[in-house]
Structure 1
Amino acid sequence: MDLLPRDLCGWHDRTVLVDLNPGDTLLRRAVHARYGGNQQGGITTSRKITDVVLFFTDPAKGHRHGYYDGWGTDGCFHYVGEGQQGDQRLVRGNQRILNHYGEGRTLEGFRADGRSVTYLGEFDLVGHYFTDAHETNDVEALRQVVVFRLRPRSSVPVELPKVPLSPVSAARAEVVPVEERHTERAFVSPDREPYRLERREAELVQRYSQSLVDQGHEAGRLQIVPPGESRPLYSDVWDKTTNELVEAKSSVTRDQLRTAVGQLLDYGRFIEAERWTVLVPLRPRADMLDYLHRYGIGVVYPNGNNWSRLEPESPDPLGPVQIRYI
């Protein structure tokens, strides 16, 4: 969603916070004493000035709530909406930002630092998009958040972070080195440390990748950015020599292998791969092999110092399973 600049929509320039200049610092309670609004929320509507919406960004503390605000490559400030748990919706403060043009309100930004805030100036809403983020104090619980693209109407003399990736209009794929930091989770929760199962998976990936290199193959990892997304996808291994797309899992449980199939299907929308493969620490049981092979997915697992490979064959139809009603 893109919006026209306000001055192209019949608006007139005006400065609502007449006694503040970008860069001015004051206590947050002084802001609300002067202009009104809720002192606790990240987005608030002034009760004393009816035509202003105030938003606050806190780079030091926002990460614990999954709020990774920052400058994008488009010159806009990408601001995560309110809502600390569950999927965010375009209600309350988020709706205020989205509709502030039509409601005749300006949008004024502040950077928080403890009890003090620094005025950033007035912003225009250019558009918004949705992406994934973790919930408050729980980096394992993912939810969807709304991100507003805000363009400052004047220079912002305050240092603010940059977002890792701005959305792109067309899909993009490139080969990157096989490194643990190249993961989808690293874009959602940059401060999160890998867990034991993830480290086991990374070790498996490193070992298999090195075996490909030792055979003279060119191996890396695919970074895929779907259109309109700000979070890249990462395959575990991409064998450029054979066009093999590999997803690794640290165990052969049904849940893990189901996840691997979904990830391969996701990546496969953007890449012409000759072979899809799941890399696991040991041979899957018969039913899970059948499951993978029926989708044309092979299996690779370590066998001493070598690797065993189970390629899918054309499966014989089993026919419908008789359902027993209880």
Structure 2
Amino acid sequence: MTVEWGTPVGWTGTRKEIAAMYGGTRFGGMETPSTSANVLLFTDPKVGRENGYEFDGWSADGDVFSYTGMDRIGPQKVHKGNLALRDHKLNGKAVRLFGVSGKAAVGNGQDRIYLGEFAIDDDHPYSTEDAPGVDGVMRTVFVFHLRPVGEILRRDEDLSSKAADPTDAGSASRVPLENHAVEEFERAGTEAGTGKKREQDLVNAFQTILKSRGRELDRFKVYPKGSSMPLFTDIHDATEGILYEAKADATRNSVRAGLGQLLDYRRYVDGRPCRLLLPAAPNADLLELLAEHDIATVWRVGDTSSFELHEGGSTRAF
């Protein structure tokens, strides 16, 4: 017997009550009960952040609610709740979204509040994004894009700090350096934290040089095609129209990573000149690799405030 939906938008209650009415368990974030034609989604921004998810919530620039799929370790798979959510229209299931009400429920965590019915976006049902698992290892996750169906409850506490409506073209906009958002889950662990600090120290030193020469500096906020999460470049010399990406060391792995980032950014920033910023001179073979892709290299000379530029096959003081 299939139970009909009878819960109004704004209703609050416990997971136990919801399970009693519509089936499913009291603990999963995505429930596919057999006793009702629904996919039940439970969102909690605090829990999401603890698991490395910065996606969930209303986009700041549209009517899409982003929701991260299931699987806490390893790349997420199209199975179980992820499959049910993706194919809910095909299977005649309604998507019901519950948030956290803010009220304590005796013996069962926080009460839930029914936010309304949603449906997968037809044009961009989901995007594949990077996020850490609970083990701290980076992996890919599904971020489903949901649009309201009928009456819904829209609350400020359900706004996402980062997500935007995905587009077919992607976009890039200039943003101030002081307002940039660091990719907080780019790497995990003490070693990564040390590397990030070395990278930021290098960026700060180079910014000081550029500012002393009267350069206007900012950075780009890039939304890749079909993605709901932004990427942030390191430095954009707006005066000269040059994009810089910094790396904490000059190893082959870091240079290759920086090359990939610059090639990715360049597709969205009008193909402007790009330079890789390093704390030391890389192997000559790597300079050739970068040059083959029309990317110049700038590196710091020891622990000094001087930098050198390799461009057009020759090296000179920057």
What TM-score comes out, normalization by structure 1 length?
0.80
- Deviation string 1:152-210 (CA, Å, 9 cap, x unpaired) is 42131655421223123433222222348433x24x67x99981211221121122122
Give the equivalent residue in structure 2 for 1:88.
Answer: 76
Higher Cα Rg, which structure: 1
Change (3 A) 1:86 1:105: same
Indicate yes or no: 2:27 matched with 1:40.
Answer: yes
Change (3 A) 1:107 1:285: closer
**SS of residue matched to 2:151:** coil
Give the equivalent residue in structure 2 for 1:134.
Answer: 131
Give the equivalent residue in structure 1 for 2:13.
Answer: 26
**SS of residue matched to 2:227:** coil
- Looking at structure 2, the residues matched to 78 and 108 of structure 1 have their Cα atoms a distance apart, in angstroms, of 14
The 8 Å contact of residues 199 and 247 in structure 2, kept in 1 or not, is answered as yes
- Equivalent positions of 1:191-206 (< 5 A) are 195-206=193-204
Q: Which residue identity lines up with residue 120 of structure 2 in the other structure?
A: L
Indicate yes or no: 2:44 matched with 1:58.
Answer: yes
Shift of 1:273: 4.9
- Looking at structure 1, the residues matched to 285 and 155 of structure 2 have their Cα atoms a distance apart, in angstroms, of 58
Give the equivalent residue in structure 2 for 1:123.
Answer: 118
Give the equivalent residue in structure 1 for 2:205.
Answer: 207
Q: Which residue identity lines up with residue 219 of structure 2 in the other structure?
A: R
For structure 1, the residue ranges without an aligned partner over 5 or more in a row are 1-14, 315-326
The 8 Å contact of residues 23 and 158 in structure 1, kept in 2 or not, is answered as no
Q: Which residue identity lines up with residue 56 of structure 1 in the other structure?
A: F
Change (3 A) 1:197 1:295: same
Give the equivalent residue in structure 2 for 1:308.
Answer: 308
**SS of residue matched to 2:263:** helix
Shift of 1:140: 4.8
- Looking at structure 2, the residues matched to 118 and 98 of structure 1 have their Cα atoms a distance apart, in angstroms, of 23
Give the equivalent residue in structure 2 for 1:265.
Answer: 263
Give the equivalent residue in structure 2 for 1:105.
Answer: 93
- Deviation string 1:90-144 (CA, Å, 9 cap, x unpaired) is 3221222222223232222222462532222322333412131423324551313
Shift of 1:52: 2.2
- Looking at structure 1, the residues matched to 189 and 144 of structure 2 have their Cα atoms a distance apart, in angstroms, of 21
- Looking at structure 1, the residues matched to 273 and 95 of structure 2 have their Cα atoms a distance apart, in angstroms, of 51
Change (3 A) 1:287 1:55: same
Deviates further, 257-266 or 81-90: 81-90
Number of residue pairs matched? 296
The 8 Å contact of residues 76 and 152 in structure 1, kept in 2 or not, is answered as no
- Looking at structure 2, the residues matched to 57 and 196 of structure 1 have their Cα atoms a distance apart, in angstroms, of 33
- Looking at structure 2, the residues matched to 174 and 122 of structure 1 have their Cα atoms a distance apart, in angstroms, of 33
The 8 Å contact of residues 64 and 136 in structure 1, kept in 2 or not, is answered as no
What TM-score comes out, normalization by structure 2 length?
0.81
Indicate yes or no: 2:235 matched with 1:237.
Answer: yes
- Looking at structure 2, the residues matched to 309 and 192 of structure 1 have their Cα atoms a distance apart, in angstroms, of 32
Indicate yes or no: 2:286 matched with 1:298.
Answer: no
Q: Which residue identity lines up with residue 109 of structure 1 in the other structure?
A: L
Superposition misfits of 4+ residues, deviation over 4 angstroms: 191-194
Deviates further, 64-73 or 135-144: 135-144
Change (3 A) 1:307 1:41: same
Q: Which residue identity lines up with residue 17 of structure 2 in the other structure?
A: A
Give the equivalent residue in structure 1 for 2:106.
Answer: none
Q: Which residue identity lines up with residue 16 of structure 2 in the other structure?
A: R
For structure 2, the residue ranges without an aligned partner over 5 or more in a row are 103-108
Q: Which residue identity lines up with residue 102 of structure 1 in the other structure?
A: L
Give the equivalent residue in structure 2 for 1:3.
Answer: none
